[in-house]
Amino acid sequence: MRHFDYARADGTRAAIQAHGSDDEAAGYQTGGAAYLAGGTTLLDLVKLDVMQPDKIVDINGVALDEIERLDDGRLRIGAMVTNTALARDERVTADYAVLSQALLAGASTQLRNKATTGGNVMQRVRCPYFRDGVSDCNKREPGSGCAAIGGVNRSVHAVLGTSESCIATHPSDMCVAMAAIGATVEVEGPDGKREIDFAEFHLLPGDTPEQEHALKPGELITHVVLDAPMQNARSSYLKLRDRQSYQFALASSAVIVTLDGNTIRKARVALGGVGTKPWRAPEVEAALEGKQASEALFADVAKRAFDNATAYAHNAYKIPLGQQAIVRNLVDLTQSVDPTAA
């Protein structure tokens, strides 16, 4: 491993100070500082020599591990709350089943015990050409090209939101649920605190795939605040993959619906495994609201999510698979009698 400075911060201000803001891209590749949360992404990539921070600021001593209900009904999650703790929290299992399920569908028990809310939001792509440290990769080395286009792109490459510069999926399950729920990312940096709408937090690759998120240099995520739960909603996360555990999504859906009899009142749909960011599908939501729930309707609306999809050599199957993730999830949610059973 490369040599780097290590600082352990005991509060957010101290962390931000220790981090500084002189790095161009918030601890991306060469140089700069990086916050260390669970380390399951960061240490992995440092060992692979793909991330090369000069300084690591350990934020495990920063007290950001509380989950609190705000007066307006929203749920405020500290950045250091682990994926396991969040998935098991009673407020989450009761009001945001989709989030609990998404978390539990991710990684493995050991990883979830270490992984944090902030770190999960910030996790890097699983594209093998990014991780090998050698291939052309615009994300790792801007301007070098994208080896995944024309290479092996079956599993962790997207069909939505891709560009000529980068086609890697955002790998998170948790973020897909958050995209459906609606959330705000609270950050604090050298210039103070601010809030970022979750939908704006992750950036499309465009021609700057090295810029993955809306944080400014040195900014620290302190909390993710979930929108207040929808009344009488049913929600669920469905993750499709080759093996039944310990694999990133080939396609997944996070769905929240409220029903009036058999009529869909409100719908929130987000997709994972198919997009270059956690993929909210408003066109699907709009096509569902006010309609009678039926499998035929679901099949029809699911197609709309992929109207602008681009399939690459090995991942065209994600277009029908993503639709299946939407349809099955909707069928199960609208057919189940007990709204909490989902």
Ligand X SMILES: Cc1cc2nc3c(=O)[nH]c(=O)nc-3n(C[C@H](O)[C@H](O)[C@H](O)COP(=O)(O)OP(=O)(O)OC[C@H]3O[C@@H](n4cnc5c(N)ncnc54)[C@H](O)[C@@H]3O)c2cc1C
Binding site for ligand X (CB under 6 A): 27, 34-42, 44, 79, 106-107, 111, 114-116, 118-120, 122-123, 171-174, 220-221, 248
Which entry of other proteins, ligand X, ligand SF4, none binds 125, CB below 5 to 8 A by partner kind? ligand SF4
Q: C-alpha dihedral over 294, 299, 304, 305, to 10 degrees?
A: 100
Q: Of 46 and 221, which has the nearer Cβ to other proteins?
A: 46
Compute the distance between CA of residue 21 and CA of residue 18 in angstroms, rounded to an integer.
9
Q: Of 55 and 139, which has the nearer Cβ to ligand SF4?
A: 139
Compute the distance between CA of residue 66 and CA of residue 332 in angstroms, rounded to an integer.
33
Q: C-alpha dihedral over 198, 199, 204, 210, to 10 degrees?
A: -10
Cβ neighbours, 10 Å, residue 238: 24
Which entry of ligand SF4, other proteins, ligand X, none binds 317, CB below 5 to 8 A by partner kind? other proteins
Q: Of 235 and 252, which has the nearer Cβ to other proteins?
A: 252
Compute the distance between CA of residue 144 and CA of residue 138 in angstroms, rounded to an integer.
5
What are the backbone angles phi and psi of residue 310, rounded to the nearest 5°? -120, 120
| Tokens matching residue 114 | 């270490």
Binding site for ligand SF4 (CB under 6 A): 125, 127, 129-130, 137-139, 146-148, 166-168, 209
Which entry of ligand SF4, other proteins, ligand X, none binds 77, CB below 5 to 8 A by partner kind? none
Q: Of 28 and 129, which has the nearer Cβ to ligand SF4?
A: 129
Q: At what angle do helices 97-104 and 174-181 cross, to 10 degrees?
A: 170
Q: Of 73 and 320, which has the nearer Cβ to other proteins?
A: 320
**Residue 4 Cβ vs other proteins, minimum distance, rounded to whole Å:** 11
Q: Of 86 and 156, which has the nearer Cβ to ligand SF4?
A: 156
**Residue 54 Cβ vs ligand SF4, minimum distance, rounded to whole Å:** 23
Compute the distance between CA of residue 207 and CA of residue 307 in angstroms, rounded to an integer.
22
Secondary structure string (H, E, C) spanning 235-294? EEEEEECCCCCCCCCCEEEEEEEEEECCEEEEEEEEEECCECCCEECHHHHHHHCCCECC
**Residue 106 Cβ vs ligand X, minimum distance, rounded to whole Å:** 3
Binding site for other proteins (CB under 8 A): 1-3, 49, 126, 128-129, 132, 134-135, 147, 149-152, 154-156, 238, 240, 242-248, 250, 310-317, 319-321, 324-325, 327-328
**Residue 256 Cβ vs other proteins, minimum distance, rounded to whole Å:** 19
**Residue 261 Cβ vs other proteins, minimum distance, rounded to whole Å:** 24
Q: Are strands 263-272 and 183-189 parallel, antiparallel or unpaired?
A: unpaired
Q: Of 146 and 333, which has the nearer Cβ to ligand SF4?
A: 146
Nearest to 100 by CA among 203, 178, 213, 199: 178
